[in-house]
Amino acid sequence: MNKREFIKLAGLASVAAAVGNPAGMVSAASLKGKNNKNGNSPKAPFTVPALPYAFDALEPHIDKTTMEIHHDKHHGAYVKNLNDAVKGTKYESLSLDEILATVKADDKAIRNNGGGHYNHSLFWTLLSPTKTTPSDKLKAAVTASFGSWEKFQDAFNTAAKTVFGSGWAWLIVTPGKKLQVISTPNQDNPLMKGIVKETGTPILALDVWEHAYYLKYHNVRPDYISAFWNVINWNEVDKLYAAAV
């Protein structure tokens, strides 16, 4: 998405807020499942998970309008497009994790929208309006893998800053149970075994698509990356790490 497209979408969202949902705009409210915390329902139709906090809860680090557009419009569109793409295919009976593990590079609609749904469903849970801290176990593992907590932060920040165009930065647990920082383009993620070079279990993720930060931070991605460290839900990261090892 370029800046012009983002600004156009932001404008449409403002109109939607004033006059209701116009034709063609995706409403997350119509897609959410009642018992689907992470959006990873067993199989299609997939749904958009509700945020575990208010849209304005992450301010001043991530603003309310960005969260509304990002969650309701962007994530909502990925879910709608994924459900359309899997209909009548071999993927329709698979879980989201199974789809991502088996999707082929040329299955672009499923690859992009399946990745978009998984990545955002995870991302929302990794943010918290309440300050949290990493466990001693996680800090020890980080130090063992990177040399120090500061070196890990530097590696993660560099991965996020150097994504060309749109993509994600990740902290993953590798198949060898080590921690590694990687980045992926677009909506690819570490579960896509036949597509990405480094695979593993993601435990921390940062969306560096412009739609995640442009309204507040404009083209200054490093400021958005710095702000991200203030809203990480380390309790969730700890849980994901414990489950992965």
Asked if residue 237 and residue 176 are part of one domain, the reply reads yes
Q: For residues 16-33, give the mean pLDDT.
A: 32
State residue 242's pLDDT score.
Answer: 97
Residue-wise pLDDT for 129-173, tens only, equals 999 999 999 999 999 999 999 999 999 999 999 999 999 999 999
Asked if residue 190 and residue 145 are part of one domain, the reply reads yes
Q: For residues 14-42, give the mean pLDDT.
A: 36
Q: Which domain holds residue 209?
A: 136-244
Q: Does residue 54 lie in a domain region?
A: no
More confident call, 28 vs 78: 78
**Res. 41: pLDDT tops 80:** no
Asked if residue 216 and residue 158 are part of one domain, the reply reads yes
More confident call, 68 vs 22: 68
Judge residue 13's burial from the number of C-beta atoms within 10 Å of its C-beta, 0-12 exposed, 13-18 middle, 19 or more buried. middle
Q: Does residue 233 lie in a domain region?
A: yes
- CATH assignment at residue 14: 1.10.287.990
Asked if residue 195 and residue 109 are part of one domain, the reply reads no
Q: Does residue 160 lie in a domain region?
A: yes
Cβ neighbours of residue 158 closer than 8 Å, sequence gap 6 or more: none
CB 224 within 8 A of CB 213: yes
Asked if residue 140 and residue 95 are part of one domain, the reply reads no
State residue 86's pLDDT score.
Answer: 96
State residue 43's pLDDT score.
Answer: 83
- The whole-angstrom separation of Cα 231 and Cα 159 is 18
**Res. 218: pLDDT tops 50:** yes
Asked if residue 150 and residue 239 are part of one domain, the reply reads yes
Q: What is the pTM of this model?
A: 0.84
Asked if residue 150 and residue 175 are part of one domain, the reply reads yes
- CATH assignment at residue 203: 3.55.40.20
Residue 50's Cβ-side half-sphere holds a number of Cα atoms within 13 Å equal to: 10
Domain count, the chain: 2
Asked if residue 199 and residue 114 are part of one domain, the reply reads no
State whether residue 75 is helix, strand or coil: helix
- The two beta strands, 167-173 and 179-185, are antiparallel
Asked if residue 113 and residue 157 are part of one domain, the reply reads no
State residue 61's pLDDT score.
Answer: 98
Q: Does residue 131 lie in a domain region?
A: no
- The whole-angstrom separation of Cα 158 and Cα 155 is 5
Which strands make up the sheet holding 167-173, listed edge to edge? Answer: 179-185, 167-173, 201-207
Residue-wise pLDDT for 52-73, tens only, equals 999 999 999 999 999 999 999 9
Residue tagged 């929208």 (tokens): 113
Asked if residue 193 and residue 161 are part of one domain, the reply reads yes
Q: Does residue 56 lie in a domain region?
A: no
